[in-house]
Structure 1
């Protein structure tokens, strides 16, 4: 489809969304009358979720969500949840943390989840950029004003998956009239600002080291030369945007042809140009071309999470890497860097385990019918998280992949904050993980 036709689709989607809004209420989209729909319901559900040994931790997490929530304040229209009271850089909202937090409170408190997603798209820039982290006053950093990057740093666009979760729980399809246009605008932003040379998409980690991939100081960018080169995570994430856009377009009675075509093209690109059959591994484009640049970062799992991999590719990846104790299946999975990789170290995003990534890895396994792998990953991650909670009474930003003490890990050696944050919710969808575990037992 020609570019002009695509822009007409975007404009039509924008007009339609406003027409739909005019036909209905101007208030928050309706939320189905789910039982409770409250903090009390979240706490009550935590008492009956997962293994008994996990429940003290899960109850604590439920209470921590409420503690981390603030009244509506500019630039948000609704109550907003920060990354957790222990975040060393103060009160902050955004990046992919809000996605994990929203999914975590579903289905117990769908209204709160919806409000976070509405807050997330509220400050989308006119060009379609959805900001990364919005820093609010207060917190440990004692910031006195609101600030965020409005020009050069986005974030992994996973929020449409959280909207999909909300739809699954509430069956409230009226929210599509609110979220469709921001989705199309964000796709347009990626096409205009993060399109890789040839095919695929990139994050500006490779250009500016702004870490909009969400992986600060990731090993993939240690040696690579700067350039608009396709990143396996960014390409997989935008593939998901096209998929969701096509689904929503059908539901809204719009033409989904362009988004279906682009999804098909990206899927083929990921399966062939970001994959090395000899290794059974997905890589960034530069590592496919140069074997000396190949490493074992967890970002290689995103083709499975997005569903872009073939069944054969997924099975081989799961068996060779996700279930391999020398790679990602560490005592506390998923190691952010494969254990046997020379770059593995006990330092933030270069080895330690983040529970959010165990959650996405499990979802990736389930996309391909691998309940065995999903259950094992979730159980090991939750077992060790509960063990550390019993010992320390807190939820850690990230965990020791070898089952050691989180406080012995390094965060950022060049900063004054060189240990993982305590009471950190942004990457700890522990309730969602336990519910997923229950569903596949």
Structure 2
């Protein structure tokens, strides 16, 4: 057994209060309580691939918490869930559970049914206990530290003297080397968990420098026994009648000594002035809530707040190879603790509705890895944005980093939408040359026949060694990984693209995709807007002229008058025909979002979008039309409804004047997508026929684009 005693034993520093101040915060009242059900208790340290426990995090922290479900864990917050660089794991069922006793007898928290609340910016538990009221609140004070406060209120008429302590135990992984990674240690002011070095590329990554640490504001003693610990307040607490006393502690997760040194003064400040931390957090969250609910009908405000909570809990601060604040797709899915390009472009648009600075940082997080002409390995890809970046680069043992393809070009649209929220022209100046370089890369490496229409493709990369590797990379580059239009069985082949010297600079699929070229036409338009704002008039004129040219090609080459819809087209050498035999996909609505369709074409597309046998299903806008021979309602990009594609379709309808249709279909989407208007998490996608949730819960771009939907 190891024991530690605070060096400063004396009178316990308790804050006398007449009421629990956080209860008065207007951001946390009624309407926005439990917009997400965050109750749950894990049974194993490794969550299932799709974690069924939703969690709360804030300020970019790499750890998160939930509310207890198992009475044995009452008095503590579930977890934490910590991210081992790239993968989420549970440290404990509830690592820090408060214990109260009186006259040598424990007060059993499981004898009562607590009121458990997730609120904008904090978690709260309230226990009514034989003349005592115990309130626990957890909120994040920084990107590394959660601040927890326990308020013990005496509701009776006599003074109460209580012993206070905390206990917890590790939820140790089942298999080595992860099983031996965490270790407990008592400290002078709490307890800490250190982590051994583990380099399991696809499961668990630590450097042996990580630490989770609890620091108490009051003097405490801690004893560690194997995988469990006990911390006791050095002196008993006496609470006068109708009085309240408060206890405070900080729970910090850091990756290395440098982070700990930088965080130490912040933790000390939080413990000295917890009320200031609470006030700052409440003010920030009041702002978030006010900005996203302003002007919304009452029945949609809880969904808006849920969207904000989803995005903020998926926010990760700079760490490892990630240099700026970014938002990951989902903290509750094993593979989604990194940053993807087109996720980022879409997430930034939604985040800008409540925090434009965070939205700008998200965009920077991807442009940090824009390929430059100075690249030793791939100078031909100058301007390219990689598909995905993670905590570890490949050189550091990360397997999820991906430069074998990019993602659809929506960056200029994203930058412009963020700019519109607070008119920060300095951000436009910062991003403009980078956006132009990214845009130019597409035409330099993805226009096989140089006809002004681009193709999805693959980079020259060791991971793209075979024809099938390159075809898969091209499908990934579209973002619609397994969509029927990319099936090899339907004639999809890869073509090498060369520069003037004959050197291969990339690969294209043998078809020109309608969504890609509509996106590129839109990007030219947004680049023109940015150039105009910066006074670059000749650039603006050139981009607008080029946008009109690409729009004309999309109208002429990618619209089939017979079926009244847009499709990918074959290459010029293969006749440049619309590929109608592959069925209709939701990508055919992108020309409306981009504003490149003629009014007549838009009217025909609108007919398909409002047809229940096409795209107006129970949950509208399946990725493949219900009429398609390739439609499968639950198979990723072959039928399920993705909120980004619904956003593009709804925005397109709205832009062409079909506002009543857009409102009707948007209401149907929100109503019929299971749990969307309730307390269930926002899903990666939904079954269009039943509304059932599919794939990853707590999905960021679903949250972001629900915030951005037109009224």
Q: Secondary structure of 1:421's partner?
A: strand
Alignment of 1:248-267 (within 5 A): 248-254=530-536, 255-256=538-539, 257-267=541-551
Task: Specify which of 443, 452, 455 is matched with residue 191 of structure 1.
Answer: 443
CA distance in 2, matches of 1:84, 1:328: 27
* Structure-1 residue corresponding to 2:649: 361
**Normalised TM-score (structure 2):** 0.50
Matched, 1:326 2:613: yes
Q: Deviations over 1:259-305 (max 9, x none)?
A: 23322221111111111112111111129626663411111111111
Report the CA distance between 1:395 and its aligned residue.
1.6
* Structure-1 residue corresponding to 2:388: 133
Matched, 1:110 2:397: no
Matched, 1:200 2:453: yes
2:492–2:510: 8 Å Cα contact kept in structure 1?
A: no
Residues 268 and 147 of structure 1: CA distance in aligned 2, closer, same or farther (over 3 Å):
same
Report the CA distance between 1:233 and its aligned residue.
1.1
Report the CA distance between 1:377 and its aligned residue.
2.4
* Structure-1 residue corresponding to 2:699: 424
Alignment of 1:39-438 (within 5 A): 39-46=285-292, 50-126=296-372, 127-136=382-391, 145=398, 147-150=400-403, 152-197=404-449, 198-204=451-457, 207-210=470-473, 211-222=476-487, 223-226=490-493, 227-254=509-536, 255-256=538-539, 257-286=541-570, 289=577, 293-318=581-606, 320-346=607-633, 347-385=635-673, 387-389=674-676, 393-407=680-694, 420-429=695-704, 431-433=706-708, 436-437=710-711
Range with greater deviation from structure 2 (201-210 or 392-401): 201-210
1:93–1:136: 8 Å Cα contact kept in structure 2?
A: no
Report the CA distance between 1:58 and its aligned residue.
3.1
Q: Deviations over 1:311-354 (max 9, x none)?
A: 11112211x21111111111111111111111110211111101
CA distance in 2, matches of 1:379, 1:136: 39
Q: Deviations over 1:161-214 (max 9, x none)?
A: 121112221122222111110111012110111114233111128952221111
Question: Cα RMSD over matched residues?
Answer: 2.6
Gapped runs of 5+ residues in structure 1? 1-35, 138-142, 408-419
2:443–2:452: 8 Å Cα contact kept in structure 1?
A: no
Residues 271 and 290 of structure 1: CA distance in aligned 2, closer, same or farther (over 3 Å):
closer
CA distance in 1, matches of 2:293, 2:551: 41
Report the CA distance between 1:389 and its aligned residue.
4.0
Residues 171 and 248 of structure 1: CA distance in aligned 2, closer, same or farther (over 3 Å):
same
Range with greater deviation from structure 2 (376-385 or 350-359): 376-385
Report the CA distance between 1:83 and its aligned residue.
0.8
Report the CA distance between 1:431 and its aligned residue.
4.2
User: Higher Cα Rg: structure 1 or 2?
Assistant: 2
Q: Secondary structure of 1:179's partner?
A: helix
Q: Secondary structure of 1:299's partner?
A: helix
1:397–1:422: 8 Å Cα contact kept in structure 2?
A: yes
1:78–1:115: 8 Å Cα contact kept in structure 2?
A: yes
Number of residue pairs matched by the alignment: 381
Report the CA distance between 1:50 and its aligned residue.
4.0
Residues 323 and 390 of structure 1: CA distance in aligned 2, closer, same or farther (over 3 Å):
closer
2:513–2:568: 8 Å Cα contact kept in structure 1?
A: yes
Q: Secondary structure of 2:339's partner?
A: strand
CA distance in 1, matches of 2:511, 2:300: 42
CA distance in 1, matches of 2:688, 2:679: 17
Range with greater deviation from structure 2 (266-275 or 65-74): 65-74
Q: Deviations over 1:12-69 (max 9, x none)?
A: xxxxxxxxxxxxxxxxxxxxxxxx9944422344555644444434323222222111
Q: Secondary structure of 1:427's partner?
A: helix
Larger helix percent:
1
Larger relative contact order, structure 1 or 2 (CA cutoff 8 Å, min sep 6): 1
Q: Deviations over 1:199-231 (max 9, x none)?
A: 311112895222111101111122133144311
